Structure 1
Amino acid sequence: MAVLLATGLGAALVPAVNAAPQQAAGTTCETATDWVAGTWYPAGSIVRYNGSYYRAEHENPGYDPVISHWYWHPYSCDGGGQNPGPGSFVVSEAQFNQMFPNRNSFYTYSGLVAALSSYPGFANTGSEEVKRREAAAFLANVSHETGGLVHIVEENTANYPHYCDPGQPFGCPAGQAAYYGRGPIQLSWNYNYKAAGDALGIDLLGNPWLVQNDPAVAWRTALWFWNTQPGAGTMSGHQAIVSGAGFGESIRSINGSEECNGRNPGQVQSRVTTFQNFSALLGTTPGGNLYC
């Protein structure tokens, strides 16, 4: 991952003459269709867009769900298609806001909850203590990577061309400087965008900008890395917590080549302190093996 150097149904309306076709009200996750530009969507409509679900908070003539956040909110189809709410995640919205009081509005709680369906084992494996510990560990690392969910993209633009590995068979179709760090765990390098996109069913190699424009996609890439990638270590962050290997191994996975084995103890301590604070907030314990 890149290193940040600066620590972004209501009733259907009757369409006007010549208006685009209207989607039927009462859409559910089971009947949701792919979003289509120019289609009239009543409030409460649910659509699929780039592998994620969105609910129309206000009626609209087919505005893009990513661009028009006032009209569309990320939506979770867990729990029988109900809106994300208390109890659907071990972290409540109030706790999330307490963890990130200065967060960028891009990083929405609803976007995170909507992304959870991609990895149902996340913060949902083992005892209640372990579930909460994993959420705290993930969010502590996220906080460190983004300066408290403030930064959406890597700030040092001079690094941007560095993240294209032309030796990959798929190359860098979006441009040499297109694969810089983005999102909660600062996804970077063309091969990581390719792998994450393949896993999530999204063309992130061709359109890496989705990670900085769509909150649910951004969270899904972070959960992809956390749940499946060993990174610089030998196991994923998810495996590190649920197996008892400890928080230190999650640090090794994310940025071990720069921080572990005594390379940058200040950065490691920052992650650990945040993890301890988040664990206390969630009513769990941090466990052992905190350092790498």
Structure 2
Amino acid sequence: WRMRLSELLTLAGAALLCIGVASGQQPAGSVPSTVTREAFDSMLGGRNMSGCEGGAFYTYDAFLAAANSSVFRGFGTTGDDATRRRELAAFFGQTSFVTTGYCYVKAVNRASAPYYGRGPIQLTTYVRNLHSVSVYNRSEDNYRQAGRALGLDLLRNPDLVSTDPVVAFKTAIWFWTTAPAPSTSCHAVMTGGWTPSAQDREAGLLPGYGMTTYILNGGTECNQTSAAAQDRVNNYYKKYCDILQVGYGDNTFCQNDELAQP
């Protein structure tokens, strides 16, 4: 009947954890401790604009359910506090840009039906290549691969991405954290998991938010003087870094993709 000291300490730790959860406290370094409900609502204010479908769809609870999935270990939890905050600011910055502040769930241009853009990352048939502009793939590769990773048949039911908010966020996080060869991932370039080659360095492709723009858009918006590049950086990423109280880091813009051709 006697308990060992180690057993008592285990029980005490569990009790303290329960108290913390009950009081709304989150473990340090977790996604909800970095992006609180208040921060989420502040960043994604575009959801509430008139005519936006994202208001009732993109919820904080759906985001957390997706972010806490075991499929995405390391998302928003890798590195020190500043690294974690910058990655999440970058994720929301890029997804906000393509959805106009989380206003849109479905792409306005649906020319690639039925696999047009859906969800926070606007998942489409595009396939990424680190050293070339993204191109369409006849096999609807992103829907196929995302569905395989998530255990869903997104080829037969692509509308899951625009009708189930948890699935929508999962496809966005999958796209963010996945690196099809020979590319790297947005997650890696924001968390120190990518080392640029000599060719990358010569082209000015370096770790930071600018590199995520290059990965996601093939470098067509790397010119710092373009309105799109300024929008991605100033109206979204830097704004979200301010909300999450973290510095912007280096290399917020990428250079012209012509320099990075193989």
SS at 1:102's partner residue?
A: helix
Q: What pairs up with 1:56-67 in 2 under 5 angstroms?
A: none
Within the candidate set 162, 179, 188, 1:212 is matched to 162
Report the secondary structure of 2:218's partner residue: helix
Question: How far apart are residue 206 of structure 1 and its match?
Answer: 1.1
State the SS of the aligned residue for 2:65.
helix
Partner of 1:111: 62
Give, in angstroms, the shift of residue 101 of structure 1.
1.7
Number of residues of Structure 1 aligned to a counterpart in Structure 2: 193
Q: 1:197 aligns with which of 147, 150, 169?
A: 147
What SS does structure 2 have at the residue aligned with 1:259?
coil
Partner of 1:20: none
Instruction: Quote the offset at 1:207 in angstroms.
Output: 0.7
Q: Which residue of 1 aligns with 2:252?
A: 290
Aligned match of 2:210 in 248, 255, 263? 248
- The DSSP-based 3-state class of the residue aligned with 2:118 is coil
- Match of 1:224? 174
Q: How many Å separate the matches in 2 of 1:96 and 1:113?
A: 11
Select the structure that is richer in helix: 2
Which consecutive unaligned segments of at least 5 residues does structure 1 have?
Answer: 1-78, 161-176
How do 1:29-108 residues align onto structure 2 when only pairs under 5 Å count?
87=26, 88=30, 89=32, 90-103=34-47, 104=54, 105-108=56-59
Aligned letter for 1:182?
Answer: R
Residue 48 of structure 1 corresponds to none
For structure 2, the residue ranges without an aligned partner over 5 or more in a row are 1-16, 48-53, 126-139, 193-205, 255-262
Does the CA-based 8 Å contact 1:180-1:188 persist in structure 2? yes
Measure the CA separation in 1 of the matches of 2:40 and 2:233: 18
Give CA deviations for 1:170-211 in whole Å, capped at 9, x if unaligned.
Answer: xxxxxxx21000000000011100000011111111110000
Partner SS, residue 97 of structure 2? helix
For the pair 1:234 / 2:183, whether they are aligned, the reply is: yes
Match of 2:83 among 123, 130, 135: 130
Of 159, 173, 181, which residue of structure 1 is paired with 2:117?
A: 181
d(CA) in 2 for partners of 1:291 and 1:256?
Answer: 13
Contact 2:123 2:143 in 1 (8 A): yes
**Structure 1 CA distance for aligned equivalents of residues 247 and 119 of structure 2:** 27
Q: Could you tell me how far apart the structure 1 residues matched to 2:78 and 2:237 are?
A: 19
Q: TM-score, length-normalised on structure 2?
A: 0.69
- Cα distance in structure 2, aligned partners of 1:188 and 1:264: 27
Instruction: Identify the residue that residue 47 of structure 1 maps to in structure 2.
Output: none
- State which drifts further: 95-104 or 121-130: 95-104
Gap change, CA 1:86 and 1:135, over 3 Å in 2 = farther
Looking at structure 2, the residues matched to 205 and 238 of structure 1 have their Cα atoms a distance apart, in angstroms, of 25
Q: Give the secondary-structure state (helix, strand or coil) at the position aligned to 1:258.
A: coil
Measured on the aligned residues, the alpha-carbon RMSD in Å equals 2.2
One-letter amino acid matched to 1:251:
T
Q: Does structure 2 retain, via aligned residues, the 8 Å contact 1:258–1:264?
A: no
- Call closer, same or farther: CA 1:144–1:230 in 2, change over 3 Å: farther
Name the aligned partner's letter for residue 127 of structure 1: D
- RCO greater where, 1 or 2, for CA within 8 Å and sep 6 or more? 2
Aligned to 1:267: 228
Q: How far is the alpha carbon of 1:264 from its aligned partner?
A: 7.4
Say if 2:66 and 2:166, in contact at 8 Å, map to a contact too. yes
